[in-house]
Amino acid sequence: MKVCVYCASSSNIDAQYFEATTKLAKALVKANIEVVYGGGAKGLMGKLADTIIEEGGSIKGIMPKFMNEVEWAHKKVAEFEFTETMHERKAKFLEGVDGVIALPGGTGTLEELLEAVTLKRLGLIDLPILILNTNGFYQDLQALMDRIVKEGFMEDKHHRMWTFTQEPEEIIGQLKSYQTWGEGSIKLSDKG
């Protein structure tokens, strides 16, 4: 099994986010789950990579060449893929993965997460999308998604496209128990 993890590159954040990232990384390694991530050496990205490497797990970084040129790439990550653009990077994140996990992060993390939700809604991917809501970080996003459904921009069944979870240890079970969604995706082959 392989997952993509979206997370922050900022180091100026509360220690509890680093603790949750460490717990998740250890759980992923213990479950023999490979990780694809943004390739950074700082913030939650760095903590994720450091922990997976220390625990003997498998991690691959995907990063645009311009980020590598300013030395943002994690030096201890052995497997890297460098892309020309951010768009190409996001597409590579989802190639051959069995799930998406979003940890707290900034606008880049949010953009990647919402793109995955959009792709799932369109029926272009069918992966579990798990959102780690450490310290209520994603509480406002959860409220916004509820409002989107409540006000008719999406249907109630679309709530099942993603899962908000509080504890990193719960994610492994959620990955392994995922059942194909598809029920509310747009059938692009259908006319009308």
**What string of pLDDT tens digits covers the 192 residues of the chain?**
999 999 999 999 999 999 999 999 999 999 999 999 999 999 999 999 999 999 999 999 999 998 877 778 899 999 999 999 999 999 999 999 999 999 999 999 999 999 999 999 999 999 999 999 999 999 999 999 999 999 999 999 898 999 999 999 999 999 999 988 766 666 654 433
Query: Is residue 51 within 8 Å of residue 21, measured between CB atoms?
Result: yes
Go through the chain and tell me how many residues it has.
192
pLDDT at 187: 61
User: What order do you get walking across the sheet with 129-132 strand by strand?
Assistant: 79-83, 59-64, 34-37, 2-6, 99-102, 129-132, 163-165
What are the backbone dihedrals phi and psi of residue 18, each rounded to the nearest 5 degrees, phi first? -70, -40
pTM: 0.93
pLDDT at 192: 37
Q: How many CB atoms lie within 10 A of CB 28?
A: 28
3-state secondary structure of 5: strand
CATH for 2-176 (3.90.209.20, 3.40.50.300, 1.10.1060.10, 3.40.50.450):
3.40.50.450
Query: Is residue 39 within 8 Å of residue 82, measured between CB atoms?
Result: no
Cα radius of gyration rounded to whole Å, the chain: 16
